Structure 1
């Protein structure tokens, strides 16, 4: 089987784990490929001598059986962009902190690769959110796994985001910004702004305001079959929009709407893993914090 490895700004001390990963893959006869970004890091920070090939284009990427993301959740989000509509299953090796998406610990590398080799895993389909606009943005990568965000560009005044569901007026949000998150993204920026947690298999999107001026404004959950459109007003001519960690500025003249993407992200789910386990671990659920 063929596996692609992807990493971003990996700290030098984690290349010991990278070596362990290469050894485990070689032991199970995987053909190892790496993205161009990760190849630069290997050459700069590692004395790794194991053979591998560098992926040069999307045609080569399409031949991969898996992609392994090495880093935190941000690296896995970038891996989703690398894969795009190829829907290659992605496994996240966590060298970061939270690890809602990158769930494999560095001390479980050999066991995780054994599960891949033995086909002892499941594939989770995660919905993506797609940005529709009348101007080309984000180099054509107009999708995200976590969220789409509209945000004021500076620290001065708030903005007004007039929001419509399938063309029907919903609300005008006077706020610092507005988030539209997928179920996967409900554990991210939306959660920090008071949004609800949503199970990954739910067929919903959540609209969460960022620091709203009106205290009676609350997040709302809508069907992921909806198309959500916006009209933005403010004292400045430019606003920030983002898809996960990728941001760009736009003017109020740009027409923006979001809906569910036609393809999905495929995440590898290893044995003895469940989303609820991750919630309890990361959010300290089930622990008596009074002691």
Structure 2
């Protein structure tokens, strides 16, 4: 594909990120590509995604240099501009980033020569009973040691505002939307609705709605299921609920999830992809649903999500598995599938010597 404008999101606290940034800038200079640094942590306070991509000249490719957190920042910008997103892995437990720093030059060549796959991933968006705001005291507390927060979301100008359906907020989440308690000694009480009908009322530390991509983030830590990023679904999970039913629920992509703060609840914070974006009072509500726009992530080769899951979580090192003697082979098959299975996605061993067990 033709790359004319590249936006660069760099993790400022990593020396290897700065080194990789030099490689990206040199590649851009070599190929006559405009390269602009864009990052929410730049001087000048808080910026919306629209302001950042406008300042970068509407890039058609965004490259992130860091871990999954940096990738999430880039995803917010790429989704806003419908740009491609390439994640360079400099983190510790990365599920989102695509290529190692040593391969960034060849990865950019692959993009330019159109030797890539583009993976489409679900995003979440939000409606609310009112505009989200951050009380000054909360903002000051949350900023401690973290840098500037993102601004409260704006209202989407292209959507209808309705008293019953609420205000459409101009936000997109790749991982999750979380409603959580603000006070340590006061849980948040929430009525949860699926497709407009009450499911249950919860008293919990938090309630979250995740995408399949976000199923390996906070949702996983809260006991939620691991869902293939290729799936289309919403995952609802309560965090430390005071009730017997504490299971996650997986809904269809066209089934929105509503969260209404109940009368005797404490205040609730709304976080989007880990960023605090507002505070709700009893009586307020948010509706979380699949966004019509999707993230377009660059893949240099086939996405081995389950291999990455196995490696990141050390799934083959369980004591019981080791005690069973010979470990399970890495690949279950080495040849192409038969005709009746040709419609399935099956990873086979790469060509070359026989894979070791």
The TM-score normalised by the length of structure 1 is: 0.86
2:354 is matched with which residue?
none
**Mapping of 1:69-84 within 5 angstroms?**
69-84=64-79
Question: 1:274 — aligned with what?
Answer: 304
CA distance in 1, matches of 2:77, 2:239: 29
The 1-side partners of 2:217 and 2:288 are apart by: 18
Aligned length: 277
Partner of 1:165: 194
Alignment partner of 1:264 is 2:294: yes
Alignment of 1:140-289 (within 5 A): 140=154, 141-233=170-262, 237-247=266-276, 248-289=278-319
**How big is the shift at 1:9?**
3.4
Decide which moves more: 90-99 or 178-187: 90-99
Question: How far apart are the structure 2 equivalents of 1:93 and 1:149?
Answer: 27
The equivalent of 1:31 in structure 2 is: 34
Give the secondary-structure state (helix, strand or coil) at the position aligned to 1:262: coil
Counting only pairs closer than 5 Å after superposition, residues 93-172 of structure 1 correspond to structure 2 as 93-137=88-132, 138-140=152-154, 141-172=170-201
The separation in 2 between residues aligned to 1:183 and 1:89, in whole angstroms, is: 19
Query: Which of the residues 54, 57, 66 maps onto 2:61?
Result: 66
- Using a 3 Å threshold, how does the CA distance of structure 1 residues 286 and 118 change in structure 2: closer, same or farther? farther
Structure 1: give runs of 5+ residues left out of the alignment: 41-54
Q: CA deviation at 1:24?
A: 3.5
| 1:282–1:218 Cα change, 3 Å | same
* Greater Cα offset, 219-228 or 154-163: 154-163
1:222-249 deviations in Å (ceiling 9; x for gaps): 1110121122237564211111122122
1:268 shift after superposition: 0.6
Hey, what's the Cα distance between the residues in 1 that align with 2:41 and 2:30? 21
Shift of 1:28: 4.5
Provide the C-alpha distance between the structure 1 equivalents of 2:32 and 2:42, rounded to a whole number of angstroms: 20
For residues 60 and 214 of structure 1, the distance between their equivalents in structure 2, rounded to whole angstroms, comes to 48
| Native 8 Å contact 1:62 1:86 kept in 2 | no
Relative to the length of structure 2, the TM-score reads 0.71
Q: Secondary structure at the match of 1:93?
A: strand
Q: Say if 1:30 and 1:39 are closer, same or farther in 2 by CA, change over 3 A.
A: farther
Q: Distance in 2 between matches of 1:33 and 1:66?
A: 11
Shift in CA distance, 37/175, structure 1 to aligned 2, threshold 3 Å: closer
Residue pair 2:262, 2:283 contacting (<8 A) in 1 also: no
CA contact (8 A) 1:21 1:109 kept: yes
Q: Any unmatched runs of 5+ in structure 2?
A: 44-49, 133-151, 155-169, 323-357
Paired residues of 1:159 and 1:234 also in contact (CA < 8 A) = no
User: Equivalents in 2 of 1:155, 1:207: separation in Å?
Assistant: 23
CA contact (8 A) 1:4 1:67 kept: yes
Q: State the SS of the aligned residue for 2:107.
A: helix
| More divergent stretch after superposition (249-258 vs 15-24) | 15-24
